[in-house]
Amino acid sequence: MLQFGKFIMSRALLAALTLVIISLVVFTLMELVPGDCAERYLAFKNTQGSGISVEDIENERRRLGLDKPFAQRWGLWIVDAFRGEFGESCILRVDIALLLGTKFWLSLGICLASLALAYLIAIPVGIISAATNNPYLNNGLKLVSYLGLAIPNFLLALMVMLFSTIYFGDTLTGLFSKEYRDAAWDMDKFVDLLKHAWLPIFILGWSATAFALQTVRALMSDEIGKLYVTAAAARGVYGRKLLWRYPARHALAPIVNSLGFDLNRVFNELPIVALILTLTDAGALLIEALARSNDQQLAGAIIFLLTGSIVALNFFTDVLLAILDPRIRKSILN
Amino acid sequence: MTDNLTSIPTSATAQDQKAKEAYFTASQRQLVWARFKKQRAAMIAAAVLIVLIVSGILAPFLSPYDPTIAGRNKDYLNGAPNIPMFCDKNGCSLRPFLHTIERERSIKTNFRWVEKINDDKRRYVQFFVTGSDYKILGFIPGDLHLFGIDDGFVHLFGTDASGKDIFSRTLHAIWTSLQVGSIGVFIAFVLALVIGGVSGYYGGWIDSVLQMVTDAVRTVPAIPLFMAIAAFIPQEWTSEMRFFFISLILGLIGWPTLARRVRTHLLTERNQEYVLAAQLSGASSSHIIRRHLLPSFTSYIIVDLVISFPYMVLSETALSFIGLGLKDPVNSLGVMLQNVTSADVLMNYQWYFIPVIFFIVLVMAFVFVGDGLRDAADPYSDLNN
Amino acid sequence: MDRLIEVKNLTLKFRTDEGLITAVEDVSFSLNRGEVMGLVGESGSGKSVTAKALMHLNARNALYDPESSIILHTDRGPVDVLSLRRPADLKVVRGGAISMIFQEPMASFAPSISIGKQMVEQLQLHGDLSKAQAREISVEMLDRVGISDPAKRFDQYAFELSGGMRQRAMIAMALSTKPKLLIADEPTTALDVTIQAQVLDLMKDLVDEFNMGIIFITHDLGVVAQTANKVSVMYLGRIIEEGPVRGVINTPMHPYTKGLLAALPRLDDLDAPLTPVPGDIPSPLERPQGCVFNTRCGELMGALCSTHIPSEEWVKPEHRVLCHHFNKDAS
């Protein structure tokens, strides 16, 4: 047990270290952007009519602590970030954590849901297709995979929009109906969310499913060809037990491994889909903040949060694999 | 010793022998090409790809009009596609033609422009007409266009909100997307070779450190990062600068996956026995790298490059679509799709989506060619016995 | 009942993209209880395919000729193996009356399931045993094959055991259901020589104890000489010679058998050059006409060998050979 605890600790440390490196990259990029927070804020105020002077900018800089050396500012930023605090948005002067709040969790929820959908479909279908070797099923799957690869999510979203506008004269946009948009969270609001969220989950899941199908099928094909499956058949094991207990169980390990990478992919697809389906005018997604705000504090925080989710997922899958796969488990315990 | 086969004419055996010899003495490139040729889907995709690339290069020649504001048709905004026909109620003709659209405005129409089709007045499509000036590949000047029309404009794919011909824009857009993709892939490739190469060849702590960095960069989701960076590009930059900047960013974000492949491959290969044998025979490091290690994974690298191309194109399209990528007058698919989400367009101007088909075909072509190359290059794949 | 299994006219072709490939042609043999038969041949001779056919275990694209017949004599009467199609029906044969052990013991155990679980699964599949009973029998079996600390090994995984132990565990698992016939597909090829000797000794003991029949597939004539009672030599899907092991080794009849024996290095003359059988086994797509061995034979009888298939001849009471040299009515 103790060794297992040590393993978890070491993985957690690794995750933390990765986050630190990423924070450095993100922070550096934030710094490289021309015009710092103070200038931006005051430029913004300028467009609103109040005049500013160089001295105002200097004062603002000192107030924000922007005159301290790079390393110190980075240190402070990373420590705060780990606590979940990202300071204030440059332009809006609102606490970022407050601003992002539910938006981040909603986005994460939608992405994870689409991944879950993808695997819920891909695992049974992929396994059965590899096992039966039915030519129709195989070709059908190939077609679906290629379609999923060739039609990127945002195009699919566009086509769905086109379709629904022509035939329904209505657009299926937004994450919430008007009544619930700013309401407090309760069961009804959640149900409303589900009613609207199925579309982005479906669209995001589209290419994730195609990808997952191919992967599951290839892995299963590989495993089925291995000697231990023949040996099990030679022992009299047959039917579903032969399929699930032997090749399927072993094919799933690499899939668990790849979950972090899958989440990365979905995060990549989320912004565009969100924009097309105008999920943002419900103010529900953080991607709008990223694209429109022109605010590097906010941008940095968002990137860090997204990457942090992936790192966290990788950590969990590492631990999960260690529990499930006896090879890893035993090598840890020794 | 007996012959291998009984009662078979000698000429066929001689042919067999020649074929076998050719197989055993073929260079790696010839082998891969021979295996690639056998896959029908990949060959078709390759042909399609070549057609698209050539259309892209020759876009200025193939398109009737200048795709920028300069070549727009002021009188035909958001116009539906004009498909030339061969026959109408007045008989048929060998040369395709269009009817003339006349606009009139008068008190009767409340002074609004009303369009009427005059189906007695034909405008014939002309081939090899002289039109606007252009430079192919940026330096070959010309002004000849493949086709045009007697009088007025011919818009095969219709026009957009400012009257620009969508057909011309599509062809130019393909070329732009290909360019951006190539530059991005090239940058990613160079970076991956250097970083992955150093990491894989030296191993040890250099490898560990570089690996951590590579993994960290790889974890950051590319598009949100793009969006963050692109949002900060100063407005003052010219479209050319934007163009190169976007390509640069694409490359900078794309290197980790490729670098990992290079590094893994080098790590396993440099411990192989054939490397040891070469070293024992007195070969120098550079010789080993050049003649032994590099060829062993050139094919994988090429396949990776081809496969990563569509992702570059997709990323650029996505970025431009949300307005953070390329902008007018630089023309790419993403730029063309910028206005597509308004309900107006969706309901009335569906031809805006025609470039999407080209785009899907381009991406699928790359995917098929990449898959075909991968199967052809892998000596252990099922196709190659 | 002494007779264990009878194979008659087994012909097996595989459907592939390149056409029908003949893997086994007109193979017949039989085995009694307590008998060990060595099945010898190069890779590509069809030995594994024949063995798998005994359990109807070949891939789905395998095509059996209608005259092929495999009859297994169990306690409950004869079983026509090739007529059984559903895996549920074949359970009687697979892992029940016939068990098979493979060349690569690491690869034949599922990597992430403990050895004990796999053994218990097999036992419960072939009888009404509770988990506790099955566990007891398994541990006993592990002990019987010479594995130390069997109770601990029961819960371990294949990757935790050494090569020799893994092979013993595989034998234990195969024998736990008390099969009548054990098929061993190159069980010692992957082991080093000392372990090989131990495993062979173990197998001989078990044959005596359980009165099993064993079909021992190998390409190693030395192993056959040590363990088998009779030997069948296969080439390109045909049995070209079969007889008592001493008989075949001392007086080989078929040119191929002679070639195999001559190819063995001689300990008494270390300077003598090695004389392998010349040529290579033809690709299954280029099956020779006439006698299957005619392309590499050094004792050809003219055009006859490449045009006519020889018929089987019993040269001695239990020694048969497939060669024109022994066909009295050579035309």
Q: In whole angstroms, what is the distance from residue C22 CA to residue C237 CA?
A: 7
* pLDDT score of C31: 93
**DSSP letter, residue C218:** E
* pLDDT score of B222: 80
Q: In whole angstroms, what is the distance from residue C279 CA to residue B4 CA?
A: 10
Residues C42 and C171 in one domain: no
Are B335 and B173 spatial neighbours (Cβ–Cβ below 8 Å)?
Answer: yes
Opening angle at CA A168, ends A165 and A169, nearest 5 = 55
pLDDT at residue A282 greater than cutoff 90: no
The answer to whether position C301 is within a domain reads yes
Query: B26 falls in which pLDDT band (50, 70, 90)?
Result: low
The answer to whether position C331 is within a domain reads no
Q: In whole angstroms, what is the distance from residue B62 CA to residue B65 CA?
A: 9
Q: Residue C257: give its domain's CATH number.
A: 3.40.50.300
State which residues form the domain around C146. Answer: 107-177
Q: In whole angstroms, what is the distance from residue A78 CA to residue B53 CA?
A: 47
Inter-CA distances, B365 with B119, B124, B306, Å: 41, 35, 10
Averaged pLDDT for residues C158-177:
88
pTM assigned to the model: 0.75
Q: In whole angstroms, what is the distance from residue B44 CA to residue B365 CA?
A: 8
Structure tokens at A233: 């058949």
Is residue A21 within a helix (H) or strand (E), and if so which, with residue range?
helix A2-32
Averaged pLDDT for residues A295-319:
83
Q: Which of C211, C220, C145, C224 is nearest to C182 (CA)?
A: C211
Mean pLDDT, chain C, whole residue set:
88
User: C-alpha A9: how far from its chain's center?
Assistant: 24
pLDDT at residue B4 greater than cutoff 50: no
Q: Is C3 helix (H, G, I), strand (E, B) or coil?
A: strand
The answer to whether position C253 is within a domain reads yes
* pLDDT score of B3: 40
How close does chain C come to B202, measured CA to CA in Å? 31
Strand pairing class (C77-80; C69-74): antiparallel
Q: In whole angstroms, what is the distance from residue A113 CA to residue A105 CA?
A: 12
**Which residue has 């034979």 as its token pair?**
C297
Tell me which residue in A232, A233, A236 faces C126 most closely, judged by beta carbons. Answer: A236
Residues C171 and C265 in one domain: no
- ipTM score of the complex? 0.84
* pLDDT score of A305: 83
Structure tokens at B267: 């790590």
Q: Residues of B with CB below 8 A from C307's CB?
A: 6
Q: In whole angstroms, what is the distance from residue C165 CA to residue C176 CA?
A: 16
Q: Which range has the worst mean pLDDT, A37-51, B355-369, C220-234?
A: A37-51
The answer to whether position C102 is within a domain reads no
The answer to whether position C304 is within a domain reads yes
Q: Residues of C with CB below 8 A from B1's CB?
A: 278
How close does chain A come to C227, measured CA to CA in Å? 24
Residue C320, C-beta contacts closer than 8 angstroms, at least 6 positions apart: C241, C242, C243, C312, C313, C314
Residues C249 and C285 in one domain: yes
Q: Which of B348, B360, B335 is nearest to B68 (CA)?
A: B335
Q: Residues of B with CB below 8 A from C290's CB?
A: 6
Residues C88 and C17 in one domain: yes
pLDDT digits (tens, 9 = 90+) for A9-38: 888 888 888 888 888 877 777 777 666 666
Q: Which of C213, C201, C296 is nearest to C37 (CA)?
A: C213
* pLDDT score of C132: 93
Residues C165 and C223 in one domain: no
Is residue C280 within a helix (H) or strand (E), and if so which, with residue range?
none
Residues C33 and C123 in one domain: no
Q: Which of C177, C205, C225 is the last residue of a domain?
A: C177
Q: Residues of C with CB below 8 A from A228's CB?
A: 107-111
The answer to whether C95 contacts A325, with C-beta atoms less than 8 Å apart, is: no
Q: Which range has the worst mean pLDDT, A187-191, B339-343, C300-304?
A: B339-343
Q: HEC profile for C148-179?
A: CCHHHHHCCCHHHCCHHHHHHHHHHHHHCCCC
Residue A178, C-beta contacts closer than 8 angstroms, at least 6 positions apart: none
Q: Residues of C with CB below 8 A from A230's CB?
A: 57, 102, 108
Query: C6 falls in which pLDDT band (50, 70, 90)?
Result: very high
* pLDDT score of A284: 46
Q: Residues of A with CB below 8 A from C102's CB?
A: 227, 230-231
* pLDDT score of B20: 66
Residues C126 and C237 in one domain: no
The answer to whether C112 contacts A232, with C-beta atoms less than 8 Å apart, is: no
Interface probe for C, chosen from B1, B3, B8, B16 (most Cβ of C below 10 Å), is B1
Query: C120 falls in which pLDDT band (50, 70, 90)?
Result: very high
Q: How many CA atoms lie within 13 A of A281 on its CB side?
A: 8
pLDDT at residue A203 greater than cutoff 80: yes
The answer to whether position C296 is within a domain reads yes
For C57, which residue in chain A has the nearest alpha carbon?
A: A234
**Which residue has 């080209």 as its token pair?**
B358
pLDDT at residue A254 greater than cutoff 70: yes
Residues C86 and C131 in one domain: no
* pLDDT score of B350: 75
Query: C12 falls in which pLDDT band (50, 70, 90)?
Result: very high
In percent, how much of chain A has pLDDT > 90?
2
* pLDDT score of B82: 77
pLDDT at residue A283 greater than cutoff 70: no
Q: Which of C143, C177, C211 is the last residue of a domain?
A: C177
Query: B10 falls in which pLDDT band (50, 70, 90)?
Result: very low
Q: Taking CB atoms and an 8 Å cut-off, how many pairs form between chains A and B?
A: 119
How close does chain B come to C31, measured CA to CA in Å? 36
Phi then psi for B196, rounded to 5 degrees? -65, -40
pLDDT at residue C242 greater than cutoff 90: yes
**DSSP letter, residue B292:** I
* pLDDT score of B112: 67
* pLDDT score of A58: 73
Q: Which of C177, C206, C224 is the last residue of a domain?
A: C177
In DSSP terms, B99 is beta-bridged to B122
pLDDT at residue B29 greater than cutoff 90: no
A234 contacts chain C (CB < 8 A):
yes
Are C38 and C69 spatial neighbours (Cβ–Cβ below 8 Å)?
Answer: no
- Can you list the pairs that B145-148 forms with residues at least 24 positions away whose Cβ atoms lie under 8 Å? B145/B60, B145/B61, B145/B62, B145/B63, B145/B64, B146/B61, B146/B62, B146/B63, B146/B64, B147/B64, B148/B64
Q: HEC profile for B138-175?
A: CCEEEEEEEEEECCCCCCCCCECCCCCEHHHHHHHHHH
The answer to whether B221 contacts A300, with C-beta atoms less than 8 Å apart, is: no
Residues C93 and C8 in one domain: yes
Q: In whole angstroms, what is the distance from residue B88 CA to residue A103 CA?
A: 59
Query: C247 falls in which pLDDT band (50, 70, 90)?
Result: very high
Query: A281 falls in which pLDDT band (50, 70, 90)?
Result: very low
Between B184 and A154, whose confidence is greater?
Answer: B184
Averaged pLDDT for residues A287-298:
64
In percent, how much of chain C has pLDDT > 90?
34
Residues C188 and C249 in one domain: yes
Averaged pLDDT for residues B57-68:
80
Are B205 and B344 spatial neighbours (Cβ–Cβ below 8 Å)?
Answer: no
Chains that touch B (3 or more CB pairs under 8 A): A, C
pLDDT at residue A93 greater than cutoff 90: no
Interface probe for A, chosen from C112, C170, C173 (most Cβ of A below 10 Å), is C112
Q: Which range has the worst mean pLDDT, B14-28, B281-295, C270-284?
A: B14-28
Residues C112 and C224 in one domain: no
Q: In whole angstroms, what is the distance from residue B297 CA to residue B262 CA?
A: 8
Residues C173 and C183 in one domain: no
Count the domains in chain C.
2
